[in-house]
Amino acid sequence: MNLPKITNKQQEILQLLYTYRYLNRIQIQTLLHHKNRKTINTWLQDLRDKHYVEWIYSTDYTKRRTPAIYYLGINGVRYLRSTEAYPASEIRKRYYDSGRSEGFISHSMAVADICIELEQKSSESLRYVAHTAADYARPTTSFIS
């Protein structure tokens, strides 16, 4: 199956969504160390149009202030499966991310927030490294740094 073409940065976004499961635009922008939010929004819109990512977004007046939550779409899962860098058992779990509970989603986003905070607290003399469950499932991951 031929998948629509995406850029290298968009591929990085898919890898981040594989690792953390659910992310909002602010978290993606922070993890990519990117300064321009319009560029991130353009990349995410393109990924949504090509069905690489899906989003959870409410048009309700009270929830409209919260950023959209992104997760892997059908083509995103297919792309990750085609790279053969991820275990098939973990890839299969990503097919069911659209039906996850709000508690699971908020837990996944909290883990991403903690990893971002640890990364920001790192300095030259002290370095924090965070590993997620997805990192433990990959056989090529080295935890010695």
Read off the DSSP letter of residue 28. H
pTM of the model: 0.85
pLDDT tens for residues 75-92? 999 999 999 888 888 898
Residue owning tokens 């319009």: 38
Q: Nearest 10 degrees: CA dihedral of 134, 106, 59, 63?
A: -150
Local confidence band at 65 (pLDDT 50, 70, 90 cut-offs): confident
Whole-number average pLDDT of the chain: 88
pLDDT in tens, 13-63: 999 999 999 999 999 999 999 999 999 999 999 999 999 999 998 888 777
Place of tokens 């790192």: 122
The pLDDT value given to residue 1: 67
User: Alpha-carbon distance 24 to 55, whole Å?
Assistant: 9
Write the CB contacts of 63 (distance below 8 Å, at least 6 apart in sequence): none
Please state, in angstroms and rounded to a whole number, the distance separating the CA atoms of residues 140 and 119: 22
CATH number at 8-137: 1.10.10.10
pLDDT classification of 137: cutoffs 50, 70, 90: low
Provide the H-helix boundaries in the chain: 8-20, 25-31, 37-49, 74-83, 88-94, 102-121, 133-137
